[in-house]
Amino acid sequence: MTTARAPFLSKQRITAGPDFNRWLVPPAALAVHLCIGMSYGFSVFWKPLQAALLGTDGKPLATCSAGAVTFSEKLAGTARALTATDCNWTQFDLGWMYTLFFVVLGVSAALFGAWLVRVGPRRAGLTATACWSGGLLICALGVHLHALWLMWLGAGAIGGIGLGIGYISPVSTLIKWFPDRRGLASGMAIGGFGGGAMIGSPLATSLMGHYAINGSSGVAPTLIVLAVLYALFMSGGSLAYRLPAKDWLPAGYTPPATVIDQLTSHHVHLRQAHRTPQFWLLWLMLCMNVSAAIGIIGAASPMLQETFGGRLAGHAELAFDAIKQSPETLKKAAAVAAGFVGLISLCSIAGRFVWASASDLIGRRRTYLVFFLLGIAMYLLAAYAAQTKSLGLFVACFGVIASMYGGGFSTVPAYLADLFGTQFVGAIHGRLLTAWSTAGVLGPVIVNYLHDVRLESGAVAHDFIYGSIFWVLACLLGIGLLAALAVRPVDSKYLMSEKEVEEEYHLAHDVSDGVSATDLRSSSTTHFFLVWVAVGIPILYGIIVTVQKTILLFT
């Protein structure tokens, strides 16, 4: 009888042999996450898109919500902007696309988490590739047609599905490859997501400058180029995913009876996890941590330009209103602001590795307590820096905030594994990301609404808009702090028996009769070098450009 080979996209096809080098798997996760992480950098498109339509005098046309002050008026303006082709968009209008990214990300991660456990990371990664790159192409068409609804559908909805599936695809995989370093594993699994804007933002700014001719913003062709590049990288990363064999452990590693901050050594079933108070406490912690930062990160570029104005272009005496009248000065300020976006991304990706690794030493609970306490202090200090026009202090505050924002994401999968075990950690993580969906609405709406209302009321100048917003965000972190203090071990009544664990494992991993699994072994040193170079070069590019532009912040 001839044994059939496992299907190309099956989990059996990517099951590695005992000699496989586990350090070949992190580059696959990075290749995917560095691409979908550009969702953080979309604020570089806001200013060009707000002036997409020009009048006969060469000046931008009025916005679709001109004169709107109340929240209901702003929503009415956005409703008109969805289909209108004779008016420009506001930051509030465009910010909803950023909100859609993370709403759909959380919902799709929750919906497809169990599916991912069944089909494996390769099929999930390729699905994410099609959605993310395809969504960017649709968004480009929306920019070309000046159709906001098409941009929301493409990048926000379809692209958001790609974000959700692509985000969780490597988490459980790398945690299984690194049982000895769960914090490090989760940091590597989603570390690249924080670095996507570090690479994509300066690249997008450069491309827009190249394509911006005859009054065009250059956004549409830029999105097309990014879609093609991301499709190539994400496909390569998805095909490179590998799974460890059953009962595989790193050489020389013996699981200890207890580990630092190990709250339980057993497993909780997916259908039981959401019934525990621990799940909802972590949900609230993640929601508050994300809400307090995501709106600011999404508006990072315009926030810096409005708060510091001409200081970003060597003209400290000029406010933002003044530099808007000088295209050359505004261009210089925008370039520095793009560097700020990249710096936030750099700090976010560093935080995902540093804080997650630190949690292996000090424990997940203590790590989250640091996030909330230090985060509150940073927002209050940032408000002071904005008032006194201390650019260096302002940038430093948001560097720390971004690091803890990224660290919160990378630490939570390890925290889930500590609390609920590893059997369903990917699917439970997917459901927990609905907190990100909620924060994706709450954070940007708070920031963009307060921004637009304060600006359009005329009572506050551009450079004093954000100070009071920071106080509101600090209060959100206070709520998260209370939730973090309340986390306790999972009650034993929610734990699976050893028999249930074995049955669930076989349901997820058994090879069908007559189908052979592929015993993949370690690749050559050359292959190891090439895969790390493939992800290392873009990261190095992002770091170099970010450092160069960051220097401009202090000169």
Q: How many other CB atoms are found less than 10 A from the CB of residue 555?
A: 6
Q: Is the pLDDT of residue 333 over 80?
A: no
Q: Where are the domains of the chain?
A: 23-52+71-248+271-505+525-552
In angstroms, the CA 438 to CA 291 distance is 8
Q: Report whether pLDDT(245) > 50.
A: yes
Q: Which amino acid is at 358?
A: A
**What pTM was estimated for this model as a whole?**
0.78
Average pLDDT over residues 252-265: 54
Residue-wise pLDDT tens digits, 486-542? 998 888 787 776 666 666 656 555 444 444 445 555 556 788 888 899 998 988 888
| Half-sphere exposure (Cβ direction) of 44: Cα atoms closer than 13 Å | 33
Query: What is the phi/psi pair of residue 67, to 5°?
Result: 85, -5
Cβ neighbours, 10 Å, residue 272: 18
Q: Which position has the token pair 């950690």?
A: 425
Tokens at residue 11, please?
Answer: 């989990």
For residues 52 and 220, the answer to whether their CB atoms sit within 8 Å is: no
pLDDT at 547 over 70: yes
Q: If residue 516 lies in a helix (H) or strand (E), which one and from where to where?
A: strand 515-516
Q: What is the pLDDT, as a whole number, of residue 221?
A: 94
Instruction: Classify 495 as helix, strand or coil.
Output: strand
Cα dihedral 457, 461, 463, 469, rounded to 10, equals: -30
Residue 5 DSSP SS3: strand
Q: For residues 242 and 125, give the distance between their C-alpha atoms in angstroms, rounded to a whole number.
A: 12
Residue 141 binned pLDDT confidence (cut-offs 50, 70, 90): very high
The pLDDT score that the predictor gives to residue 552 is 64
Sign of CA dihedral 273, 275, 280, 281: negative
- What is the residue type of 29? A
What integer is the mean pLDDT of 2-21? 73
Mean pLDDT of 393-399: 91
**What is d(CA 45, CA 151) in angstroms, rounded to the nearest whole number?**
12
Of the pLDDT bands very low, low, confident and very high (cuts 50, 70, 90), residue 280 is very high
Q: What is the pLDDT, as a whole number, of residue 224?
A: 96
Mean pLDDT to the nearest integer, 351-369: 89
CA 459 to chain centre: 34
The single-letter DSSP state of residue 4 is: E
Query: Would you state the pLDDT for residue 263?
Result: 45
Q: What is the pLDDT of residues 291-305, one digit of tens each?
A: 998 878 777 778 888
Residue 400: CB atoms within 10 Å? 17
pLDDT of residue 462: 63
Locate all alpha helices (DSSP H) within 240-310, ordered by sequence.
270-273, 277-298, 300-308
Continuous segment of H or E residues that includes residue 515: strand 515-516
What is the band of 264 on the pLDDT scale with cuts at 50, 70, 90? very low
pLDDT at 468: 82
Q: Answer with the residue of higher pLDDT: 462 or 486.
A: 486
**Nearest by Cα to 183 from 363, 9, 381, 385:** 363
The pLDDT value given to residue 501: 61
For residue 162, which amino acid is it?
G
pLDDT for residue 512: 43
The dotted CATH code for 23-52+71-248+271-505+525-552 is 1.20.1250.20
Average pLDDT, the chain: 82
CA 23, CA 523: separation in Å to the nearest integer? 11
Phi, psi of 370 (to 5 degrees): -65, -45
